[in-house]
Chains A and B, each alone.
Chain A
Amino acid sequence: MPRSITEQIKLAKQENRMALMTHVVMGYPSLEDTRQRVLLMVQAGVDIIELQLPFSDPLADGPIITVANQTAVKNGVTIKQCMDLATELSSQVEIPLQWVGYYNTVFNYGIEKFIKDSRRAGIQAFTFPDLPIDEEPYEHFFELASLAGIPVIQLVSLITPVERLKEINKLAHSYIYCVARFGVTGTDSKMSDEIVSYLQKVRKYVTVPLAVGFGISQPQHIRDLRDSADVVVVGSALLNLSLPELKDQIQTLCAAL
């Protein structure tokens, strides 16, 4: 059974390191590949894995993840299949697995059924970047999920004003995800110069651990974040590696934590 995210971050803390979160797109290039990839990531020492539910129009993602999503959609991957695979993986791993995706997937599946089935599949958290706090009074998704014991992860960005940071923090559970640069997910840009001062600003208003993502691909990126983040997130940079390359790369990244 997977641990909760909070417990996992605590474990990393006890080992005096940041936690590493990685990412897969469910069903890209196939569900079987996703299964092997997740198990290999666990073996290689990852702390948390984001399982992305494929969606046709992933507007917060860059070209690499967009193509992966659209390929999985084209292959006919269903949310039910994703639930089944998550159930199987949860029975085999101890680290937390969480969903990331787009809100329409939940809305279409049925909010309550989605939460219930995810809970049964052992999912430890949800991240839906296109559901900002402002829509919660209309959707009640955070409320229903937290009643079922699944935290919804909040995101903040480089341009989130202080007042908004405080509001977002009120709804935060497990960790807050800081989008560490302008733009969508991808590997091409260098880490933003503003990042350290930004993270210091965020820390003042945030009472849960901080995860930093978007654009992290190198061990040096991770070392740069040592004093300011609790969790580092690596996504696009791993997506198209072969399984042996993936293992090497994760071990390299882990050594930098």
Chain B
Amino acid sequence: MSKELFFKTQYEPDENGHFGEFGGRYVPELLMPVLIELEQAYKKAIQDESFLADIKKVFKNFVGRPTPLHYANNLSDELGGARIYLKNEGQAHTGAHKINHCVGQALLAKRMGKKRIIAETGAGQHGIAAATVAAKFGFSCTVHMGAVDAKRQAPNVFWMQQLGAEVKIVEHGTKTLKDAVTSALQDWIGDPAESYYLLGSALGPHPYPMMVRDFQSIIGIEVSEQIQEYIGENKKPDYLVACVGGGSNAIGLFNAFLDDPEVHMIGVEAGGRDVTKPGEHATRLANNSKVGVIDGYKSYFLQDDQGNVESTHSISAGLDYAGIGPEHAYLHSVGRVEYTSVSDEEARAAFTKLSRSEGIIPALESAHAVAHALKLAPELSSDKNIVVNISGRGDKDLFIVNEKLNAKINN
């Protein structure tokens, strides 16, 4: 029997959203009643069978779920170790896993009678998915995006606007995801009654990390069924590998297996250009950053010695963030999940490799997970298997990859 959405594991948060010492709700008083209302609405919705039925219907008919789990035979043969399977979230509508938590939250916002959706976006993938569900389910939509991100992901800005969203470009701070998050929270503080803040990853104040995780858990539920076709009935994968920005695609893959100790899990962070230099990477857990309280939750954050958020760098906008979801911080602290990083260079090589050997062009974020799998597979025997989450497809990264590849040729 496979699990049903909204199942519980031994790693649940307490009633105030604390996963061990991480998580919580560190927000201004203006947001507390709103977050409490949201939590209550969510708890009520998941008790209601029609909510689950609605989600499943939209997942199937609109998103196109289940997404395929595909055996990467060429890649596995070439590497000569463990068998690699690819969970292709790039085939979900809008091209990434982000649509999963957008559908769930939009259906919840509808039940709550909200009129407007507010979202933040880094790569633009979450913004596109939020604008998509806003169009589909009848909300107006404001997407906050840092000016730097808007420039490097210009096609996504255009598509969000085509979907009817207003894109609010954030011109202060580092003009990236962290400033977009702050700006979106400020927007919400200004209009708490009518608007729903549709958060784009498994982070932020409670109940978001739990809620986003629950909607994303469909990924792991599907994998647990699909893998049996390849490795036999009731068999579990040996390794799960996913990239970790805020942590939504990774927790979505991991959650259904957290209580199976034989399943190893690896989260891959962005090593950027140099993991030893502040501002040159975005590895929070693999590099022992400091615990802090920022953007409404307690977790590991890249900070300077005064506790200010440090700037980050990654070739992939979706991993370019100083914080990480509190459940990941917790899973790291108790040793349940291993966290590692790969560099920009390795991610780029994996991007090309997967495209050529499997005919799948991954998002640069997902290419980080692939890059780690390329290292891991040859170390394991051929009776082992690895499931890699391809969290999104690479279309959006055309200009980044092209520019970098060009620069390389010109050098």
A residues sitting closer than 8 Å to B (CB atoms) are 55-60, 62-63, 66-67, 70, 73, 78-79, 102-105, 107-109, 129-132, 134-135, 138, 155-161, 164, 168, 179, 182-184
CB pair B172 A70 closer than 8 Å: yes
Q: How far is the CA of A67 from the CA of B186 in the complex (A)?
A: 14
Tell me if B276 counts as interface (CB < 8 A to partner A): no
Residue of A nearest to B33 (CB): A159
**Distance of A142 from chain B, by nearest CB (Å):** 14
The answer to whether A184 and B189 touch (CB under 8 A), given A67-B172, A132-B29, A160-B33, is: yes
Q: How far is the CA of A135 from the CA of B35 in the complex (A)?
A: 14
**Distance of B148 from chain A, by nearest CB (Å):** 15
Q: Which residues from 254 to 278 on chain B have a C-beta closer than 8 Å to any C-beta of chain A?
A: none
The answer to whether A164 and B33 touch (CB under 8 A), given A60-B189, A107-B292, A182-B189, is: yes
Q: How far is the CA of A157 from the CA of B186 in the complex (A)?
A: 15
CB pair B33 A70 closer than 8 Å: no
Residue of B nearest to A63 (CB): B172
Tell me if B16 counts as interface (CB < 8 A to partner A): yes
Question: Which residues on B sit within 8 Å (CB–CB) of A135?
Answer: 16, 24-26
Question: Which residues on B sit within 8 Å (CB–CB) of A78?
Answer: 306
Query: A164's contact among B16, B32, B185, by CB below 8 Å, is which?
Result: B32
**Distance of B311 from chain A, by nearest CB (Å):** 9
**Distance of A198 from chain B, by nearest CB (Å):** 13
CB pair B28 A56 closer than 8 Å: no
CB pair A130 B309 closer than 8 Å: no
The answer to whether A109 and B307 touch (CB under 8 A), given A57-B295, A130-B296, A183-B190, is: yes
Question: Which residues on A sit within 8 Å (CB–CB) of B173?
Answer: 56-57, 66, 70
CB pair B186 A62 closer than 8 Å: yes
Can you name 8 A-B residue pairings with CB atoms under 8 Å?
A: A70-B172, A104-B292, A104-B293, A108-B307, A132-B26, A157-B30, A164-B32, A179-B28
Tell me if B290 counts as interface (CB < 8 A to partner A): yes
CB pair A184 B26 closer than 8 Å: no
CB pair A73 B30 closer than 8 Å: no
**Distance of A131 from chain B, by nearest CB (Å):** 6
CB pair B303 A179 closer than 8 Å: no
Q: How far is the CA of A60 from the CA of B16 in the complex (A)?
A: 21
B residues sitting closer than 8 Å to A (CB atoms) are 16, 18, 21, 24-30, 32-34, 172-173, 178-179, 182, 185-186, 189-193, 290-296, 301, 303, 306-309
Q: How far is the CA of A62 from the CA of B307 in the complex (A)?
A: 20
CB pair B186 A59 closer than 8 Å: yes
The winner among B190, B191, B293, B309 for most chain A CB atoms within 10 A is B293
The winner among B186, B190, B291 for most chain A CB atoms within 10 A is B186
Q: How far is the CA of A252 from the CA of B291 in the complex (A)?
A: 45
Q: How far is the CA of A158 from the CA of B189 in the complex (A)?
A: 11
CB pair B190 A184 closer than 8 Å: yes
CB pair A59 B185 closer than 8 Å: yes
Question: Which residues on A sit within 8 Å (CB–CB) of B179?
Answer: 57
**Distance of B195 from chain A, by nearest CB (Å):** 11
CB pair B172 A159 closer than 8 Å: no
Question: Which residues on A sit within 8 Å (CB–CB) of B185?
Answer: 59
CB pair B307 A104 closer than 8 Å: yes
Question: Which residues on A sit within 8 Å (CB–CB) of B29?
Answer: 129, 132, 155-157, 160, 168, 179
CB pair B18 A159 closer than 8 Å: no
Question: Which residues on A sit within 8 Å (CB–CB) of B26?
Answer: 103, 130-132, 135
CB pair A184 B25 closer than 8 Å: no
Q: How far is the CA of A66 from the CA of B185 in the complex (A)?
A: 13
Query: B307's contact among A55, A159, A183, A184, by CB below 8 Å, is which?
Result: A55
CB pair B303 A108 closer than 8 Å: yes
CB pair B294 A182 closer than 8 Å: no
Question: Which residues on A sit within 8 Å (CB–CB) of B21?
Answer: 138
CB pair A107 B293 closer than 8 Å: yes
Question: Which residues on B sit within 8 Å (CB–CB) of A159?
Answer: 30, 33-34, 192-193
Q: How far is the CA of A55 from the CA of B309 in the complex (A)?
A: 8
**Distance of B167 from chain A, by nearest CB (Å):** 17
CB pair B292 A59 closer than 8 Å: no
CB pair B295 A59 closer than 8 Å: yes
CB pair B192 A182 closer than 8 Å: yes
The answer to whether A132 and B307 touch (CB under 8 A), given A67-B172, A107-B292, A182-B189, is: no
